Amino acid sequence: MRVVVIGGGICGLACAWRLQRLGAEVLLLEQSARVGGVMDSLEADGFLFERGPQSFLSNPNLLELIAALRLNDELLEADRRAPRFVLVRGRLHPVPMAPPTLLTSPLLSPRSRWRILTEGFRKSAPPEPEESVAAFTRRKFGPELLERLVGPFVSGIYAGDPERLSLRAAFPMLYTWERDYGSVVRGAIQSRRQAKPANPKTRPVLSNFRNGLRTLPAALHRALGDAVCTRTTVHAIEARRADGRPSLTLRIASEGRHEALTADAVVVATPAYAAAALLAGVAPGAAEQLAGIEYAAVGVVNLGYRSEQVAHRLEGFGFLVPRSEGLRTLGTVWTSSLFAGRAPHGRVALASFVGGATDPEAVRQSDEELLTTVSQENAAVLGITGAPVVQHLERYTHALPQYNLGHTQRLQAVREELSRRPGVFLAGNYLEGPSIGNCVDVAFRTAVTVAEFLGTKTTTQQPN
């Protein structure tokens, strides 16, 4: 019972690995020369930079995967108490990370703090069919919270526009709390009471590896062995019948050769736009819906400095920038403050992000313009003098899927059509969140669903 997984990003790798553990015969096809997608690391002049995401928040499935791959000794954890900052009126302010500090933070006016304090005493219902993150925040807490905290937070996670981002799709828990309890605060309290006691060993913590995020896809590649085929392009998926039963045929090209592969199940673990092209022949309605998912373009700028060039102490995670500040930089992570080995002795490393849904033109600047803009903006905020000793720019025209208004309905339509196309499954960061942990969760669940499908198929095909 062969399963073909298309796409060698973290979703495809984790799904293939899980399927192997469940006893399936797996073949993973990746178009590029390497696996891992945006999870890649770069060494330059003694610095260790991340080309894409800078870290991950651990969760049970991700920790299980890391342990099974024997990577625990490679794992680095950031200080849980590391403060985050937000830039307001040219100054960095600590982001309040708990309700008491939120109610006393000088970031918010007395009016905003009062609306937060009293939200639990007011009853409301979410409007139908859905509302944006911005509309929800204004309705419940006022515009100031949106501008100074929620907007920058949304930019940091989704590179998204809160005016277009769907609350139900991007932050479903907030929607559920208001729907079920009439209040976000009451919902949070009830949810915490009903939750099982947290295991300190599995509490989410910001993490990375000694040799960068490339460690995880490289380990998965080794574990999968010959089941991984790189430099292989899938051109189409076709539904056929073989020996009187339905099967799936993949038209592929590898090293100049064109071939046809037959599979009992196919997992499409590519970005939504690529999945749309692959599904056009077997599920055209689903393909049309997937093609409508927008992506934000993002530039990742890594900068290295001598420590004496930077006036700020860089103690913490980094800072986010509200759009009202007028900067192109969405945020900057102080990578050498979070994890060891990111910069040589006497040096510091920063990673900044530009572009996103609110500033798509930023990534269209020339390399020189973009690097200069980001270094100058960081210099103004952090008191940096002189040019960076090393710098690197990575552009992603389709960096992050946008969970915009209508996303939930769009995915429901996709699932309904695929339910009528047995053997075709999806895994991707457009389904349940863009984080690495979300991707592994989706990959594992998809693998179990595929295994159950194969088991049912085997049973139904046995002679009487």
Which among 167, 195, 223 is the end of a domain?
195
> Residue 255's pLDDT band (boundaries 50, 70, 90)?
confident
427 assigned to some structural domain: yes
Number of neighbouring beta carbons within 10 Å of residue 224: 20
138 assigned to some structural domain: yes
Residues 6+ apart with CB under 8 A from 426: 267, 268, 269, 275, 414, 418, 446
Q: What is the tens place of the pLDDT at every residue in 216-244?
A: 999 999 999 999 999 999 999 998 766 65
Residues 6+ apart with CB under 8 A from 239: 246, 247, 248, 249, 281, 282, 421
Q: CA nearest 3: which of 11, 14, 20?
A: 20
Q: What distances in angstroms separate CA 332 from CA 31, 39, 156, 314, one per listed residue?
A: 31, 18, 10, 11
143 assigned to some structural domain: yes
Run of H or E residues at 120:
none
Question: What is the average pLDDT value for the chain, to the nearest integer?
Answer: 93
Give the Cα separation of 431 and 442 in Å (integer). Answer: 8
How many domains in the chain? 2
Mark whether 179 and 235 lie in a shared domain: no
Count helices and strands in the chain by DSSP H and E runs: 17, 20
pLDDT at 219: 98
> Residue 98's pLDDT band (boundaries 50, 70, 90)?
confident
Cross-strand partners of 395: 299
For the residues 57-72, what does the mean pLDDT come to? 96
Q: CA nearest 150: which of 222, 217, 78, 102?
A: 102
Q: Which domain holds residue 223?
A: 2-37+214-293+404-461
Mark whether 171 and 240 lie in a shared domain: no
448 assigned to some structural domain: yes
The CATH number of the domain holding residue 140 is 1.10.3110.10
Cross-strand partners of 394: 300
Q: What distances in angstroms separate CA 246 from CA 31, 216, 421, 457, one per listed residue?
A: 26, 36, 10, 10
Mark whether 284 and 426 lie in a shared domain: yes
Mark whether 104 and 241 lie in a shared domain: no
246 assigned to some structural domain: yes
Mark whether 182 and 227 lie in a shared domain: no
> Residue 343's pLDDT band (boundaries 50, 70, 90)?
very high
- Residue 122 structure tokens: 């007011």
Mark whether 103 and 237 lie in a shared domain: no
φ, ψ of residue 108 to 5 degrees: the values are: -115, 145
233 assigned to some structural domain: yes
Task: Calculate helix-pair angle for 284-291, 407-418, nearest 10 degrees.
Answer: 160
360 assigned to some structural domain: no
Mark whether 103 and 161 lie in a shared domain: yes
pLDDT at 203: 74
Q: What is the tens place of the pLDDT at every residue in 366-396?
A: 999 999 999 999 999 999 999 999 999 999 9
Mark whether 122 and 185 lie in a shared domain: yes
Mark whether 271 and 130 lie in a shared domain: no
Give the Cα separation of 119 and 101 in Å (integer). Answer: 16
pLDDT at 464: 32
List strand residue ranges (DSSP E) for 307-385, in order: 318-320, 329-333, 347-355
Give the Cα separation of 395 and 416 in Å (integer). Answer: 35
φ, ψ of residue 360 to 5 degrees: the values are: -65, -20
> Residue 197's pLDDT band (boundaries 50, 70, 90)?
low
For the residues 429-453, what does the mean pLDDT come to? 96
Q: What distances in angstroms separate CA 70 from CA 66, 79, 95, 339, 384, one per listed residue?
A: 6, 23, 35, 20, 40
Backbone Cα Rg of the chain = 23
pLDDT at 463: 36
Residue 458 has pLDDT above 60, yes or no: no
Which DSSP symbol is given to 232?
Answer: E
The CATH number of the domain holding residue 32 is 3.50.50.60
Mark whether 136 and 108 lie in a shared domain: yes
366 assigned to some structural domain: no
Mark whether 187 and 264 lie in a shared domain: no
Residue 461 has pLDDT above 90, yes or no: no
Mark whether 116 and 190 lie in a shared domain: yes
For the residues 171-193, what does the mean pLDDT come to? 92
pLDDT at 456: 64
pLDDT at 97: 81
Residue 247 has pLDDT above 70, yes or no: yes
Which among 166, 195, 224 is the end of a domain?
195
Residue 246 has pLDDT above 80, yes or no: no
